Homo-oligomer: A and B are copies of this chain.
């Protein structure tokens, strides 16, 4: 199948074609990269937009259960939902946070849902590019909502928030001391904090935790583009399926307000600019990652460590090598 055919099938909403196309954009082979570029250019003309929802939460907050319940609620409304993952640990473990589809058994069988595990990549930059391309393919395939899941570690929240229209932080009920455990930078990214497990014995704790985070959010600078009350903290129960429709209502209200104000488009433009700059920088630095460059870096590094060459002189030599190579 050529890329035009594959592209047309995607535009018709064919999930198999979509899965195949994502495999293509995940490939590092240069012929695959070139086909992927053609494909993305082909489907990019559709002009379709989904709501891109970033979702971060550390293991144990009930993220899979939330995604399943939330996704089922959306598909029950006739919406089509895609779930992608950015997993910074997959490079090391070879595993994937969405690798086990049985985690979301009901959703994975739903005709209106599409679940894609995180690719095993060597670095977060590679994962980011492929995830953005997978999002573009899902949008072209007509998905209404694309959920981009990540675990709460390191740089991955920044990556996901820079490719999302809305960013959600899923938290578990906890004592007041643990509020400090959420880094200020992560709090500042969140459009909504959802305190999960507001059920059974944990219900009261969840309500208290939610109030604590609502208080913390009020201390952050108000975003001029957003209506009063955002960023917002709410309780949900993924297990009992409580609060999900309310959360979805708030997400719709926030995104409508951002569309009306023009922020939505401005934000997508700024994100595109961000990724353009990131990719240029990453591609320049990737010249250091070839085996030839690495062995030259190692050779020069040894001279530097021994004091035979100054860091600057060695760097000049390395740069000459890169230009010649």
Contacts and interface: CB of A to CB of B under 8 A. Distances in A.
Given A276-B314, A305-B269, A314-B276, A285 B288 contact: no
Assembly stoichiometry (copies): 2
A29 interface: no
A280 B288 contact: yes
Interface residues of A, number: 43
Given A284-B319, A285-B284, A288-B280, A136 B269 contact: no
A313 B38 CA distance: 10
A322 to B, nearest CB: 7
A315 interface: yes
Interface in A290-310: 297, 300-301, 304-307, 310
Main secondary structure of the interface of A (DSSP, over half): helix
A307 to B, nearest CB: 7
A212 interface: no
Contact of A315 (B44, B283, B306): B283
Contact of A275 (B272, B311, B322): B311
12 contacts: A40-B312, A41-B310, A41-B313, A44-B310, A132-B311, A136-B310, A269-B307, A272-B310, A273-B311, A276-B300, A276-B315, A283-B316
Given A268-B307, A280-B315, 9 more contacts: A37-B313, A41-B313, A133-B312, A270-B305, A272-B310, A273-B304, A276-B301, A276-B315, A283-B315
Interface of A: 37, 40-41, 44, 129, 132-133, 136, 268-270, 272-281, 283-285, 287-288, 297, 300-301, 304-307, 310-316, 318-319, 322
